[in-house]
Chains A and B, each alone.
Chain A
């Protein structure tokens, strides 16, 4: 990918478009899609082959279901789950990375609606963590912060603070952090809004109304010429807000995805939708420039991943498509077997895509030889809907029943 980097890097340096500094240190996996929401880890020595018996360093039993991903900061893994006939028990747990020991578990009583499609559940949004703890949002619009030792720092019932939040399919968008701010995507069919709170106290810093429709998009924080922007996307638009004030900076209106989240790709924002779109933000409040559109790049439930000038997407048919971020053209395709709910993740030159039935496809991104791309198919018989995490030379998979730590000795 050296040549690709050679194309992209100068553009990044010229435009100054970077992912804003988000929580966590090198090697951490602090939020949905990991460091900076990129889906890419810089870890090396990641596993290629495993089974239910081999290369499982440990597995930890979970008290309930969850589509949320494990998030990892330092030696701690944070995870959410829900249980109870009405899914009204909301769990936040902390495990030790090296052996999977559960360090603490706390429960909250749900205060919002627990109505959802049976595929999903109340522990669908992925928490976000930093050195000061974990911030957990649930589909019930309950949100809480715990320190690394499990002490509750603050809690809010957003369904009681702002009545009328409703998504009978089930909310699933994840929060993100920038500096002292925690951004909460509460776009829904009723009282629809984006919220920024002080991550240390939970106090509201700003709240803006958003388009009323069910939505599952996780916000993206980017830095533009030294200034940060937080992007919220619905099926009709993607809008950049000033993280500190909530002031609208720019909007791009189009038929966009309400499921698959945008990602930063070099100097451009890559936006899933009817047409997959590459946007180049302008300075100030001007509308972003549309660099290209492609109706050949289709996303289903998983979000795209970007690395070294290439976009990786999984479509509904279970085909992994690698596209050129420069122009959207297809570079190669690889037929995998779905259904896929989890977003693929990348580390150590490999892409990991786990399907619902527990088969993880390991794809070599370094080879240009088609027949050598698929390195392995590793099966664990369980139901997997959560996006994996990468840290400490391990892959972390979360099923309905267990959290697995997979690593080769």
Chain B
């Protein structure tokens, strides 16, 4: 290869800078080919737009030597999900060829890439996987320092290693060391299976853990319902809480029932609110849950919901989630919407629709909702316990 691009430069700059660098530098034909091939792949769009050009570009990139890998990985920083999968195919083709031919991978550049948190987490994990081909000691050396890694997969491996170490300490009789390691791993864990395993170990050691708080589940709600969802009409219907929430308001609900907001605090460790208990068992019904959270600053947030029911979610009036499916399964973080928290008061409204299926397994009417960042870390907000004030400018439906 005749590339004269310093790999360290490649991994530390965005693709835009990379392109600029290539433009002002006297590029070899191979460099120019790489640059235009990456551009073609980044241009791939929805519904197969640009796929023919991307496939051609992929063939060009697949012919390159392994020192092109950092540039391909860096291009993922601003790639669409479609383009990322094309780039991944190029990375795998180039790396496979090098490994099969016994040629070296650019280890130092790949290591620098993994260590640079500015790069896309998935690209960093892919670089890490490439390094594992040449250095099986990598997990031992790196994972202890990756407990707070923004790549969920790297963090998961780091937590798994910490969990094993804690269990080993426990088995050797060193309870203090085990507890400290379990606590450290618990703080870092973001996947439910690991959190569960760690919470169980900590409880056995007499340490109390707050799983709902760890994940950022909202526990304090105002609830109102049932409104009508006979024949599934309720999902599309806009009932009064979608216009504004007044905790003192009275509504006319299903079968002319007089409805008022009721405070509810769930004690479920995963923040599950059972509406069959909190509102009452109803079929063909809509319930609303409303919460107010105070944020110290403006920040991006993910609203994550699990429910067996059809749901809609609004944050400060903006619809983030709309999913009309009933009783096909329920898991934490089933539906994810991205939004922005404002400094100060923020309003969360969720609509939970129950249908009229009679089967025993279709009787669940419940939800869980949490606020977190993209990694799944609870965002620092204070939940206002059972707010009494009317919403300032409505809660839903107008995109406020």
Contacts and interface: CB of A to CB of B under 8 A. Distances in A.
Interface of A: 84-85, 104-109, 111, 115-117, 142, 144, 150-157, 160-161, 166-169, 189-190, 197, 201-204, 214
A151 B48 contact: no
Contact of A203 (B51, B59, B62, B85): B51
B89 A106 contact: yes
B352 to A, nearest CB: 15
B328 A169 contact: yes
B48 A197 contact: yes
Interface in B1-48: 46-48
Nearest to B58: A152
What secondary structure prevails in chain B residues at the interface with A? helix
Interface in B77-96: 81-82, 84-86, 88-89, 92-93, 96
Contact of A202 (B48, B92, B153, B323): B48
B328 A84 contact: no
B180 interface: no
B125 to A, nearest CB: 10
Given A85-B193, A161-B47, A201-B48, A144 B85 contact: yes
B92 A106 contact: yes
B89 A109 contact: no
12 contacts: A85-B191, A106-B89, A106-B92, A109-B122, A152-B86, A154-B51, A156-B47, A156-B48, A161-B47, A161-B48, A189-B324, A197-B48
Contacts, number: 94
Interface in B148-201: 153, 156, 191, 193
Interface of B: 46-48, 51-52, 54-55, 58-59, 62, 81-82, 84-86, 88-89, 92-93, 96, 122, 153, 156, 191, 193, 323-325, 328-331, 334
A107 B88 contact: yes
Nearest to A162: B47
B328 A155 contact: no
Contact of A156 (B82, B88, B328, B334): B82
A204 B45 CA distance: 13
Contact of A107 (B48, B51, B92, B328): B92
A152 B55 contact: yes
Top 9 A-B pairs, shortest CB-CB distance? A168-B328, A152-B89, A168-B329, A202-B48, A154-B51, A111-B81, A189-B325, A203-B48, A161-B47
Contacts of B81: 109, 111, 157, 160
Given A104-B96, A115-B331, A201-B51, A155 B86 contact: yes
A157 B51 CA distance: 12
Contact of B153 (A84, A116, A168, A189): A84
Contacts of B51: 154-156, 201-203
B323 A166 contact: yes
A105 B95 CA distance: 12
Given A156-B82, A201-B48, A203-B47, 17 more contacts: A84-B153, A85-B153, A85-B156, A106-B89, A108-B88, A109-B81, A109-B85, A142-B85, A150-B96, A152-B85, A153-B55, A155-B82, A160-B82, A168-B334, A190-B323, A190-B325, A204-B47
Contacts of A203: 47-48, 51
Contacts of B88: 107-109
Contact of B328 (A189, A197, A202): A189
B2 to A, nearest CB: 24
Contacts of A202: 48, 51
B62 A151 contact: yes
B193 A160 contact: no
A63 B74 CA distance: 26
Contacts of B334: 115, 168
A204 B47 CA distance: 7
Which residue, of B47, B88, B329, B331, has the highest number of chain A Cβ atoms within 10 A?
B47
Contacts of B328: 167-169, 189, 214
A116 B62 contact: no
Contact of B55 (A109, A117, A154): A154
B82 A108 contact: no
Contact of A115 (B59, B84, B329): B329
